[in-house]
A = this chain, B = another copy of it.
Amino acid sequence: MPASLRGEKLCLFRGERCLFQGLDFQVNSGELLLVEGANGSGKTSLLRAIAGLILFEDGTIYWNDTDVEKDRQGFLRSMAWLAHRVGFKGDLSLAENLRFEMSLRSVDGSETQKVLQRLGIERLTELPLRALSAGQQRRSALARLLLVKARLWIMDEPFANLDRAGRELVLELISEHLDEGGLCMLAAHQEIEMNNVMHRLML
């Protein structure tokens, strides 16, 4: 069953400034939408607004052709969010953090071990998250993304703080996700090379 995310006539203000107006976009199953733009052009704001964390001034987001306002719960079930801040509790260990995320979403954790190994953080599960380095924390956030098994990935600068191996791993993961019929919306300053369908949205 293919899925799609579409935005129509989007208009967003931050403070007094209009970031964009009349913006349209569409992503379908198996496609990546790369959001590009100079610093301050509004990438983060766009992603947050699509997720529903801030309000659009105008315009509508459709998930599978239904207005997300009508069924936000359903939309959120299909979405996973990766942003600047990791969103884990610094005092809890990685294992505890992931266990919480999974029961919050009623996802079973049978694949945890595999995912952690793939991300190279399987030995860090018992340290409090606060003690992990910047890059290790971002890898942990990736672990959540993988475990949640959502169809739509929204990622804001996923490559920041990652070493070279980490960046390549992220590309690989995205590619696999798209191959399985997932969608991805990604804001980044890096050039991306992939064999999947990729659209660009220039802000």
**Contact indicator A164/B189 (Cβ below 8 Å):** yes
- The A112-136 residues at the B interface (CB cut-off 8 A) are 124, 127, 131-136
**Bound-complex Cα distance A163 to B136 (A):** 23
List, sorted by A's number, 20 A–B pairs whose CB atoms are closer than 8 Å: A15-B131, A38-B135, A39-B134, A39-B135, A39-B139, A39-B162, A39-B163, A39-B166, A40-B124, A40-B132, A40-B133, A40-B135, A41-B133, A42-B133, A135-B189, A160-B160, A161-B189, A162-B189, A164-B189, A167-B189
Note all chain B residues with C-beta closer than 8 A to A167.
189
Q: Check if A14 is an interface residue, CB within 8 A of chain B.
A: yes
**Which parts of A26-41 form the interface with B (CB within 8 Å)?**
37-41
Number of copies of this chain that the complex holds: 2
User: What is the interface residue range for chain A against chain B?
Assistant: 20 to 34
- If A14-B131, A38-B163, A39-B163 are given as contacts, then 16 extra A-B residue pairs at C-beta distance below 8 Å, sorted by A number, are A37-B163, A38-B135, A39-B134, A39-B135, A39-B136, A39-B138, A39-B139, A39-B161, A40-B136, A44-B134, A84-B134, A134-B157, A161-B189, A162-B189, A163-B189, A164-B189
Residues of chain B within 8 A of A127, CB atoms compared: 15
Q: Which residues of B contact A157 (CB under 8 A)?
A: 134, 161
Cβ proximity bits A153-169 to B, threshold 8 Å, 1 near / 0 not: 00001001111111100
The 4 closest A-B pairs by CB, nearest first: A39-B135, A40-B133, A40-B136, A163-B189
Docked complex Cα distance between A139 and B165 (Å): 27
Chain B residues near A162: list those with CB within 8 A: 39, 189
